[in-house]
Copies of this chain bind each other. A is one copy, B any other.
Amino acid sequence: MGGDNAPDVTVEGAAAFLSARKEAFVRLHGDEAKLKPVMAKYSSVADRMEIVHTEDVITSDMKPSQALRRGRNSSMWNALEDVKEGRANAAVSAGNTGALMAISMLVLRKMDGVHRPAMTAAWPTLRGRTVVLDVGANLEADAAQLVTFAIMGEAYARAILGIERPTIGLLNIGSEEMKGHDEIREAHELLRGSELDLDYQGFVEGDDISSGKVDVIVTDGFTGNVALKAGEGVARMLGVRVREALTGSLFSKLGAVLAMGGLKNLRSQMDPSNVNGGVLLGLGGVSVKSHGGTDGRGFARACQLAADLATSHYRDEVATNLSKIRQKGIAAE
């Protein structure tokens, strides 16, 4: 079990997940001596938790290449082997992101027709959530890859947001004359002209990530990562500023106390643990990345997301669409 506060937070989160999902079962990979005392705190769900012992761990400072070389029999690797061998429907980790991506790709392999997997984020918007992908698994993406991301993101949004027919936008900049890189324009033509039966809405801009204009926003991993971090930075800055504004004088302090109910709601809406869980799409099994610094509620949320995805039709839907574009020679063989 990885993450900044493992195994306390991860076991707490797993237990909260089990309380909410009565049919679920969790296999805890890690050091039995450390896991057992924590697990003992959650007796009501203990019969649906099982420890799979190992003392090997992927540390947070390991490079993906090191993790691949030395990670066999680590808790992370074993969890992914569980998925591969059908002992589990999904793996969830709060550990090293790069290592999780690398081991996931090696153990679970890519789906047919997927060039490279893509990492997702579910971003809070004025209307709910928008799925953004890729947010960091790939530095670049050509037109065919962007189309694949659109296919995977659409099925994913249906699975986890419960939207019957998610809308899709392609991230671009607005300036007319120089609209987009070649690969973006090419992907735009492919999505517009495709027989994929996707609800493709065309180009969107950076501010649409928060406006909720579309359900899925497709971009390369570099741009997606920068955009999301930029948004997180602004949210953090505004959080500090609002707090300052509400504690600056005696009057504003009193005001803040009175407004506390509303502000609490706001905090809960914007709470990162409510949107915790990035998924590496395009693999032969479900692998979910929780924030390393999340709390128990956040880790439970990541488990729920993993369960939702594993029990959805996501993979069949993606496979169907990928085979369509493969017939047209777009996707990878």
- Find out whether the CB atom of A208 lies under 8 angstroms from the CB atom of B181: no
| Residues of chain B lying within 8 A (CB to CB) of residue A227 | 206, 226-227, 230
| Residues of chain B lying within 8 A (CB to CB) of residue A265 | 245, 248
Closest chain-B Cβ to A149's Cβ sits at a distance in Å of: 16
Chain B proximity mask over A215-243: 1 for CB below 8 Å, otherwise 0: 00001011101111111111111101110
Task: Look across to chain B and name the residue whose beta carbon is closest to the beta carbon of A267.
Answer: B245
List A128-179 residues whose CB lies under 8 Å from chain B. 136, 139-140, 171, 173-178
Q: Which of B237, B249, B263 contacts A211 (CB 8 A)?
A: B237
Chain B proximity mask over A262-298: 1 for CB below 8 Å, otherwise 0: 1101100110000000000000000000000000000
A206–B180 Cα distance when bound, in Å, is 20
- Find out whether the CB atom of B176 lies under 8 angstroms from the CB atom of A63: yes
Chain B proximity mask over A54-85: 1 for CB below 8 Å, otherwise 0: 00000000011100000000000000000000
A261–B249 Cα distance when bound, in Å, is 8
Of A98, A207, A230, chain B has the most CB atoms within 10 Å of the CB of A230
Task: Look across to chain B and name the residue whose beta carbon is closest to the beta carbon of A135.
Answer: B173
Binding-face segment, A7-15, A33-41, A43-51, A250-258: A250-258
A151–B110 Cα distance when bound, in Å, is 44
* A259 located at the interface, meaning its Cβ lies under 8 Å from any Cβ of chain B in the complex: yes
Give the dominant DSSP class at A's interface.
helix
* A205 located at the interface, meaning its Cβ lies under 8 Å from any Cβ of chain B in the complex: yes
* A332 located at the interface, meaning its Cβ lies under 8 Å from any Cβ of chain B in the complex: no
Q: Which of B181, B230, B233, B266 contacts A222 (CB 8 A)?
A: B181
- Find out whether the CB atom of A240 lies under 8 angstroms from the CB atom of B126: yes
* A210 located at the interface, meaning its Cβ lies under 8 Å from any Cβ of chain B in the complex: yes
A177-B63, A238-B270, A244-B262 known; A206 vs B222 contact (CB < 8 Å): no
A176-B98, A249-B262, A258-B258 known; A233 vs B231 contact (CB < 8 Å): yes
